[in-house]
Amino acid sequence: MRPEDEAEFAGLVERQWRFAYRVAWAVLRNRADAEDAAQETFLKIFRARAWRGLRDEKAFVARAAWRASVDRLRDSPSRRTPLRGQGGTDIELEDIADRASGPEEIAAAANWEAVVHRLIDSLPEELRQPLALSVDLNSREIAAAMGVPEGTVRTRLMRARAMLREKITAMEERRYAGR
C-alpha cells in the first residue's frame, strides 16, 4: 500500500467512521456487531479501491454500511430480535409493563424515552430501519442506502410514526384509565 493511498484511506475512515457506525448501530442495535459491520464497510471500500473520486462520500458510505449491516443481520437473524408480544404480534403496553415495574412507575419517572425505544424496537424491520436512519439521513439518502424509491421511504416513515403515535396514545389512555 502506497503512503499516499494509506493517508487518503485513513482520511476517509476518520471522516466517516462515526457515521458508518451509527448506520450499523441503527440496523443491528449491538455494539460489537455494529463495530464489525462498520469495519467491514471500510474494508470493502478499500478492497474495491472505491474511496478515490467519490462524488457523494456520505451516501456511498451509508449504502455500504447499510449493506454490510443487513448482510450481517441476514447471516445470523438471531443477532437482533425485535421485541414481540404474545403470539408474534407487535409489542403491547402490557409487555412493557411486565418488564418494568409498571406503566405508572415508568410514567412517573418520565422514562418515556425507554418506552418509545421499546416501541420502536417492536416495529417491523422495514419500518424501523428507515425511522432509525432518518436521524442522520434525509429521505433521498435513506432511499439510496436501502435501494428503494424515495416515495417508499417516505411512506414507511409515515407509517412508522403513525404506529408509534397510536401505541403511545393507547398507552396513555390506559394509564389515565387506570387512575
Spatial separation of the C-alpha atoms in residues 118 and 42, rounded to whole Å: 30
Query: Which residue stretch of 58-66, 75-83, 90-98, 134-142 sits at the interface with other proteins (rule: CB under 8 A)?
Result: 134-142
Among 17, 54, 84, 107, binds other proteins (CB under 8 A): 17
Instruction: Find where cell 451509508 sits.
Output: 62
- Among residues 127, 158, 138, 153, the alpha carbon closest in space to that of 59 is found at 138
Does residue 154 belong to the site contacting other proteins (CB under 8 A)?
no
CB closer to other proteins, 13 vs 59: 13
- Among residues 137, 166, 171, the alpha carbon closest in space to that of 129 is found at 137
Among 18, 94, 126, 158, binds other proteins (CB under 8 A): 18
Bridge partner residues of 84 (DSSP): 90
Q: Which of residues 23-82 bind other proteins (CB under 8 A)?
A: 25-26, 31, 34-35, 38-39, 42-43, 46-47
